[in-house]
Chain A
Amino acid sequence: MEAADAASLAVHTQDLAKRYGKTVALSGLTMSVRRAEVFGFLGPNGAGKTTAVKLLVGLARATAGQAWVLGAPVGDLKTRRRLGYLPELFRYQGWMKATEILSLHCELAGLPRAGWKAEIAGALETVGLSERGDDRVEGFSKGMQQRLGLGVALLGRPELVLLDEPTSALDPVGRHDVREIIRKLKDRGTAVFLNSHLLSEVEQVCDRLAVVDRGRVIATGTMSQILGQDGAVRVRVTGLPPERRASLGAYGNLEDEGEWLTFRGLSQDRVPELVSDIVNQGGRVYAVEPRHETLEDRFLQLLKEQDS
């Protein structure tokens, strides 16, 4: 993709790689995030998610490949005015008040001084910290610091907000609030890059997602594209010899769990044919359950496929 094409996207990376000494953190990451969409970046611990975000906000430098953020090469100073970022592991200056932290970031973001008061009040209200604005941050719990971090990321109505594990320290109420904030951001046309390993969170708010493992995207698309058009079917069977069981793999990706056989990627139209085949081979069928595949199922399956 040319740089001009990347301008229409919120994020675009091409074969982005990062190596720390001998450790490969990212190995050829290629992905695109559209403007005004909520994009989930999903992967197990150590998959390279945080490294990717750090490369996008200019905290680390890529070993190879290219990346554009809001149409500009990563690290571009002017573009950073239009970004909001919530790091995963961070802390603010404990000796400062919450309002002072927000003022500092208004100043660093280059926002007009006349608008700071409204920006700060709006951010505190959005993240539910209006009552604590004049308190020093050293007295904040981890969850409150995370809320404040989210408020900082929202200052100046950024066009792209990158959230790295935004709910890791939050209680269920806080998580719900964050999801609502993300939805509001989307409504006002802000692209959100949500880095998370919380599958339910991604499933609830994301328009599209990429699954990353060992520094590489192993699947990308909308939720339905990732989950697949075809669901899965579980069949409870007895009396079927092992060699016959193996032959049933032709119907779909087979998981043998003893009495239960799970066929993934099996079209519903072929279920009667499958049951008939099992019976013809001497099997006794006790139950047939169509199964809606969850993101967790699909995620685990994708990782398993990678391992094999």
Chain B
Amino acid sequence: MHVLTIARLTVLEASRRKLLLALALLTSWGFSRLPTMNGVTPAEVRVAASQLTILVAFMFSGVLALGSTLVAAPSIASDIESGIALAILPRPIRRSEVLIGKWLGLAVLIALYAALSGVLEMLGIQWATAYLPPNPAAAITFVAAEGIVLMTLALLLSTRLAPMTGGVIALVLFFVGWIGGIALAIGQAFQNNTIINIGVGSRLLIPTDGLWHGAIFYLEPADFLAAARAAGRVRAGNPFFADSALPVPYLLWIVAWILVALVVANWSFARRDL
């Protein structure tokens, strides 16, 4: 099964190129700063602790999203540019196996990083504030899914575009999605259907912000949610707040989105002359 060969190669490359080491060091350094924040934030207050958790998770989901793009955008494109693909593809291996193998390897790396940084964050926050979010595993899963969506997009672009171009486009779309999420929150706060539609459209096209809000929901304590809901629609304008879990149809849409992106990427890569 060549998919696993390529996946193993992708993980091995990240390890040999010291990507994993660099992320581990940076993540450890980031969490070592937590006690300092503790001095500013009253650890006894659950709401503040949950907001701190969300902010730290936001920082690491951002690192994960940007990292996913930077690693995935050159994955196919640079193999073609450097000639590595010329040596591998004439072997009895389908291009779809190369593509899926790379996707799998990158997905493993993303899941690994999300899990490790998520666990570190939860332990750090708990140590500093004695607070543990209601469902950290679900939150970590959504953060990982956000990275995987962005990685899939960058991988698709990588089948046709130069690493730099694909990376820039994927990052711009990521930020467009984020702005779309804020637009949705503002639309909901002011009950403006046009802005809501723009926000919903952006969440469907680029589901990264939707997934981020899925993660936020599982980081908020129940009493905080109840208080926020009682505060009414003005509260909905906060981009770091989610008042409900992601609906199942939207989750299915995201799964379909990833599958369609992979099918298009495969179609594109299979038809590319090298």
Contact = CB atoms under 8 A, between A and B. Distances in A.
Contacts, number: 63
B92 A80 contact: yes
A225 interface: no
Nearest to B274: A59
A11 to B, nearest CB: 14
B114 to A, nearest CB: 24
Contacts of B92: 77-78, 80-81, 108-110
Given A77-B92, A77-B94, A104-B5, A90 B87 contact: yes
B234 interface: no
Interface string B121-137: 00000000000000000
Interface residues of A, number: 29
A81 B86 CA distance: 16
Given A81-B92, A110-B92, A149-B87, A54 B2 contact: no
Given A20-B273, A54-B274, A60-B274, A108 B82 contact: no
A149 B82 CA distance: 14
Interface of A is mostly: loop
Interface in B68-85: 82-84
A85 B91 CA distance: 9
A221 interface: no
Interface stretch (B9-17, B49-57, B59-67, B244-252): B9-17
B interface bracket (residues with beta carbon within 8 Å of A): 20 to 34
Nearest to B273: A60
Given A59-B273, A60-B273, A60-B274, A87 B91 contact: no
Contacts of B84: 90-93
A96 B274 CA distance: 23
A83 interface: yes
B251 to A, nearest CB: 36
Contacts of B91: 80, 105, 108-109
Interface in A92-110: 92-93, 95-96, 104-105, 107-110
Contacts of B94: 77
Contacts of B16: 95-96
Contact of B87 (A58, A87, A107): A87
A80 B2 CA distance: 14
Contacts of B9: 93, 104
A197 to B, nearest CB: 19
Contact of B86 (A87, A96, A107): A87
Contacts of B93: 108
B205 interface: no
A102 to B, nearest CB: 12
A60 B90 CA distance: 10
B119 interface: no
A107 B5 CA distance: 8
A82 to B, nearest CB: 9
B233 interface: no
A157 interface: no
Contacts of A58: 89-90
Nearest to B83: A90
Contact of A91 (B2, B82, B89, B271): B82
B259 interface: no
Contact of B90 (A59, A92, A93): A59
B88 interface: yes
A107 B87 CA distance: 13
Given A80-B90, A108-B2, 10 more contacts: A58-B89, A59-B86, A61-B273, A77-B94, A80-B92, A90-B84, A91-B87, A104-B9, A108-B5, A108-B93
12 contacts: A59-B86, A61-B271, A61-B273, A80-B91, A87-B83, A90-B83, A90-B86, A91-B87, A93-B84, A95-B13, A109-B91, A149-B87
Interface of A: 20, 54, 57-61, 77-78, 80-81, 83, 85, 87, 89-93, 95-96, 104-105, 107-110, 149, 152
